[in-house]
Structure 1
Amino acid sequence: MKKMKIGLVVHGPEIVDSGYALKFLKFLERYGTVKARLGGTMGRTAVIDANLEDKIDISHKLFPSQSVDKFSDEGSDVIFLINYGKSSVTGHAFGYKVYNNSTGHPPIVQMERPGEPDGSVVPWRDDLTPLAAEIATEMGLRLVSPEEIRNTLFSQDPCQGTGQTICRKIAGVSPGENIFVNGIVIGKSTSSEVAIIAEEGIITQLIGGTLKKHGVEKLGPVELEKAIVKTGLLRKSRVKPRILKSEKSNTHFTIAYLSHAAEDIYKLKNADLVVTVGDDTTLVAADILYRFNVPIIGITDGDLDKVVEEGFKTEGSLIIEFESGWDDLVGEKIFSELFNHQESIEIENIENFKSKLLQIISNITSQYQVRYS
């Protein structure tokens, strides 16, 4: 058999945390030359913790379909998409989305939940079935056809009868899970049949769930059909974080401002301090930036959704908690008065900056608590 040029798209932290990303990467080397890159955000933290940056390219923030397109452009003979979904339904729904969001009909074979009894291999193109079947046998996984997946996904549709609005069904949800749209928690499921309704780009309803108004406001207008939707925890594994060394100046300090968890938090890894606004943004940013030894000042209002199993914060971080709804208001004031509407600023004294920030807050309200770490 001729050696193939293989692209490997690694999605999500679980496939890395479980050890299967590395295992499968090594397994594929018998079929040809393998190049791996990440698709998604939270997986980057897992790659860093597993010390796999030299094997899995995390240098660019790419959606999984963008990673697929990149491999297609590079002339890959086959592109493997590996994922460890919450269930086979969510995993297969993810693969379906990636295949349909990619350009043309790329040669994708998906490996889903390899450590589980329902672990599977899916050839998203018919001509890949022999290869997928061989790998399924070798890895002890089930071969699942795209047809089978489509039948499962569209057998029950809560979007039926919703009229002219945009409705997006969410597969494989369990009651009591957070629903993320583009990194923002917009609600919580109350059933396993969940769909998101948007009118004129604004989410107005969560069928089978409770809508979180503050999250919807923070998200703003969204193209629901193209949005990244996730459920449950962004990272379930309990891990030992790996802290990377960084070269930082002792004379000038870079302070960054972050108000949206969907932004590329990794670009802030060389900052000396990051001001984060919003509970979920603060939790996710603190956890990621912990790997780069970057403290945060979190502006929160106690409206915290559990988005990772364990969250880490760098020593020297502050969490400032306000009454409900105040975090955005305070954040905007800080962004205006301290940052002059710039995403990052250079300063000479961090303690002075903290004092000014707390003074701005005190001028707005006395109803807040400061927690140090």
Structure 2
Amino acid sequence: MLKIGVVVHGPHIIDTGYALKIIKLLERYGKVKAVLGGTMGRTAVYDAHLENIIDISKKRLPSESIDMLAKECDFVFLLDYGKSKITGHAFGYKVFKKLKTNPKLIQIERPGEKDGTIIVWNKKAENFAKKIAKKLKLKLVKKEDVEKEIKGKIIYEKNGKKYRRVLGVSKGENIFVNGIVVGKAKSDEVTLVAKNGIIIDIIGGKLKKHGVEKLGKVDLEKAIIKTGLLRRSEVKARKVIKRKSKKEFNVGFLDHAAEDVYQLKNCDVVVTIGDDTTLVASDILYRFDVPVIGITDGDVDKVVKKGFKNPGSMIIEVEKGWDDKIGKIILSKIFKNKKYIKIKNINKLKRKIQEIINKMNIKYNIKEF
């Protein structure tokens, strides 16, 4: 019996139902082991009740997941549903280039679209890929075709600066680098420019300085770059657990990198700093019945289709540029520079945060949920 590894990437392949459909199809040919590659798909796995089918127990990059499965599987499938054919193909190319193993890798890209494809990344997988392409009515594409399609360098250096082309971007979309919005596309041709590890310009886009400051130093070659919404589908959020009342509460602190929010799912409440961080964190933590106390400054970018907020959440919108400053004071005075604390009373915590803001002598609005 064949051993087939499946790496599921991104929420859309799950939200559309294709991840499960393809896993079921592959089960006709052998024993399937499915794992998640990347982070944002985890919420989709929970919403689709697939956590017993797709392993989400560890956070791995798609390339790491493929390398892991390559050691025990005859074939490995990479399932993705990019915004466009070019983004999907570029994603697969980047993942393929990162691999440390040489698996019989087959990528299934945008299976629900007219331009959906199956990419054969290893010639030894071609015959099996043909069978699956026929079943799914998808066009078979060879590795060489993708390399020609991407043409030109995605990453290059010139005059001490590093450049990275962003493929498949559309005008008006947010540009994420490692989960942080660093700008907005003003055209379909966008290139990020970095000097000494700091993004200094976006050719074909508008730089968001606040985002760049939060991001700090970055290696453009290794960075995970996304555009548009982190999750494109309108979904019904699933409550995975219901919290019980208790006498002591675990409180977490999150000031950026909202995509790493899953490590806070066992908290009873989370203090979040920044608009995008608060939006994404509250959306994810809703599934785990965790309210947030968010400090924002109204500089919000649309990063998810619809953001869910758990009852008991409180969003405090302060004057522009003050969210990070207040966040640092909260971290120092309330959290004593730790990421987690224990408290007896959540309302008392909310009052303490308001007291800190009151001392700043700035205007603010409070929304309670």
- Whether TM exceeds 0.5 here: the answer is yes
User: Partner of 1:61 in structure 2?
Assistant: 59
1:245, distance to aligned residue in structure 2 (A): 2.0
Equivalent residues of 2:70, 2:101 under 8 A apart: no
Query: Per-residue CA shift, 1:277-325, capped at 9, x if unaligned?
Result: 1111000000000001100011111111000111100011111111221
Corresponding letter in the other structure for 1:146 = K
Counting only pairs closer than 5 Å after superposition, residues 74-85 of structure 1 correspond to structure 2 as 75-85=72-82
Equivalent residues of 1:243, 1:293 under 8 A apart: yes
Counting only pairs closer than 5 Å after superposition, residues 195-206 of structure 1 correspond to structure 2 as 195-206=191-202
User: Partner of 1:347 in structure 2?
Assistant: 343
Equivalent residues of 2:180, 2:211 under 8 A apart: yes
Instruction: Return 164-173 or 272-281, whichever deviates more.
Output: 164-173
1:71, distance to aligned residue in structure 2 (A): 0.9
Corresponding letter in the other structure for 2:43 = T
Equivalent residues of 1:114, 1:141 under 8 A apart: yes
Counting only pairs closer than 5 Å after superposition, residues 274-289 of structure 1 correspond to structure 2 as 274-289=270-285
1:163, distance to aligned residue in structure 2 (A): 3.3
User: Partner of 2:96 in structure 1?
Assistant: 99
Counterpart CA distance in 2 for 1:15 and 1:263 is 18
Counting only pairs closer than 5 Å after superposition, residues 295-310 of structure 1 correspond to structure 2 as 295-310=291-306
TM-score, normalized by length of structure 2?
A: 0.97
User: Partner of 1:19 in structure 2?
Assistant: 17
User: Partner of 2:233 in structure 1?
Assistant: 237
1:148, distance to aligned residue in structure 2 (A): 1.3
Counting only pairs closer than 5 Å after superposition, residues 105-124 of structure 1 correspond to structure 2 as 105-124=102-121
User: Partner of 1:126 in structure 2?
Assistant: 123
Counting only pairs closer than 5 Å after superposition, residues 6-45 of structure 1 correspond to structure 2 as 6-45=4-43
Equivalent residues of 1:11, 1:64 under 8 A apart: yes
Instruction: Report whether the alignment pairs 1:364 with 2:369.
Output: no
Corresponding letter in the other structure for 1:312 = F
User: Partner of 1:212 in structure 2?
Assistant: 208
CA spacing shift, 1:107–1:283, aligned 2, 3 Å:
same
Corresponding letter in the other structure for 1:140 = K
Counterpart CA distance in 2 for 1:168 and 1:129 is 31
Q: Structure 1 regions of 5+ residues with no counterpart?
A: none
User: Partner of 2:322 in structure 1?
Assistant: 326
1:273, distance to aligned residue in structure 2 (A): 0.5
Instruction: Report whether the alignment pairs 1:293 with 2:325.
Output: no
Query: Per-residue CA shift, 1:214-261, capped at 9, x if unaligned?
Result: 000000001110011001100010011100224545111001000113
1:366, distance to aligned residue in structure 2 (A): 2.8
User: Partner of 1:193 in structure 2?
Assistant: 189
Corresponding letter in the other structure for 1:62 = R
Corresponding letter in the other structure for 1:67 = S
Counterpart CA distance in 1 for 2:76 and 2:156 is 34
1:191, distance to aligned residue in structure 2 (A): 1.1
User: Partner of 1:176 in structure 2?
Assistant: 172
Equivalent residues of 1:182, 1:262 under 8 A apart: no
Report % sequence identity.
55
Instruction: Say which of 89, 95, 99 aligns to 2:86.
Output: 89
CA spacing shift, 1:296–1:172, aligned 2, 3 Å:
same
Corresponding letter in the other structure for 1:238 = E
**SS state at 1:303 partner:** coil
Counting only pairs closer than 5 Å after superposition, residues 244-259 of structure 1 correspond to structure 2 as 244-246=240-242, 248=244, 250-259=246-255
1:104, distance to aligned residue in structure 2 (A): 3.0
Counterpart CA distance in 1 for 2:303 and 2:176 is 9
**SS state at 2:288 partner:** coil
Equivalent residues of 2:39, 2:259 under 8 A apart: no
User: Partner of 2:133 in structure 1?
Assistant: 136
1:103, distance to aligned residue in structure 2 (A): 1.0
Equivalent residues of 2:118, 2:129 under 8 A apart: yes
**SS state at 2:165 partner:** strand
Counterpart CA distance in 2 for 1:28 and 1:82 is 12
Counterpart CA distance in 1 for 2:157 and 2:312 is 53
Instruction: Return 129-138 or 172-181, whichever deviates more.
Output: 129-138
Instruction: Return 15-24 or 141-150, whichever deviates more.
Output: 141-150
Corresponding letter in the other structure for 2:231 = R
CA spacing shift, 1:192–1:263, aligned 2, 3 Å:
closer
Instruction: Return 316-325 or 333-342, whichever deviates more.
Output: 316-325
1:262, distance to aligned residue in structure 2 (A): 4.3
Instruction: Say which of 266, 281, 284 aligns to 2:262.
Output: 266
Q: Structure 2 regions of 5+ residues with no counterpart?
A: none
TM-score, normalized by length of structure 1?
A: 0.96
Query: Per-residue CA shift, 1:176-216, capped at 9, x if unaligned?
Result: 11110000000011111111111111111111111111000
Counterpart CA distance in 1 for 2:167 and 2:243 is 44
Counting only pairs closer than 5 Å after superposition, residues 145-184 of structure 1 correspond to structure 2 as 145-155=142-152, 162-184=158-180
